[in-house]
Amino acid sequence: MKLLRFGNPGAERPGLLDVQGVVRDLSGVVADIAGDTLSPAVLDQLRAIDPATLPAVEQPGRLGPCVAGVGKFVCIGLNYSDHAAETGATVPPEPVAFMKATSAICGPNDPVIKPRGSTKLDWEVELAFVVGSHVSYADEDTARAAIAGYFVCHDVSERAFQIERHGQWMKGKGCDSFGPIGPWLVTADEVGDPGELAMWLEVNGKRYQDGSTRTMVYKPAFLLSYMSQFMSFQPGDIITTGTPAGVGLGLNPQVFLDVGDVVELGIEKLGTQRQVVVAAP
């Protein structure tokens, strides 16, 4: 099942993508794709609905972030062996975690805003997932059952802010528009093994990232179990799981984004995103 949100920012409506690729309006069934809507019981209710009985949306227009009301946006760093190698780092013995601001979340095709003073704006295609049940001190099986679904995340990063401005990574990770998610949330049962998904990213038509979740070191269920030892998770919280090789920072010479650049990215089974880089107002 593919769940999505469509409409103008702040006025998105919940939807479902049927097997013919038609958006169906879910606003008569659920208030939004958020929180309690992502519980196993509600997802089962949505699966039981014949999509043909839902209103078709002829022109859905803008797609919004596929999850609303996110409480926590947790990110995992250096979690792909090939990406760690290209940046001269080693895979850590335990996952490295940091947070993005929830204000960074935007739609999958919304513009990426180049912040004022930015000199090293970079890209990262990532597999993300959303929690559908309360999780605390969970074992791996419990954590796996609590994952409601998966989606594409673009972990946009400003490397000078992240690395050269001292302190934690969040300075270069949480800027407005640095967290496009979507186009849709694909429920866990439809994704199957999240460790076997091809993923890619292109800038201005040139492919820079061409990898797979097979090189992911710490897998989603382990990550949720691990992170739940430090904090509880509630329905609607999201975790993004790291990126494969091919980021601008790791190239020789390095390549970074500028105003007017077009970024396209996608993950097998989860859809694609497209963003144009614009200047901060």
How do 185-187 and 73-77 pair as beta strands?
A: unpaired
**Backbone phi, psi, residue 253, to 5°:** -75, 160
CB atoms within 10 A of CB 41: 9
Q: How does pLDDT run across 168-221, given as a tens digit for each residue?
A: 788 999 999 999 999 999 999 999 999 999 999 999 999 999 999 999 999 999
At 163 the pLDDT is: 87
User: What are the extents of the domains in the chain?
Assistant: 2-53, 73-279
CATH C-level class of 73-279: alpha beta
* Predicted model pTM: 0.96
8: tokens are 């103008």
At 84 the pLDDT is: 66
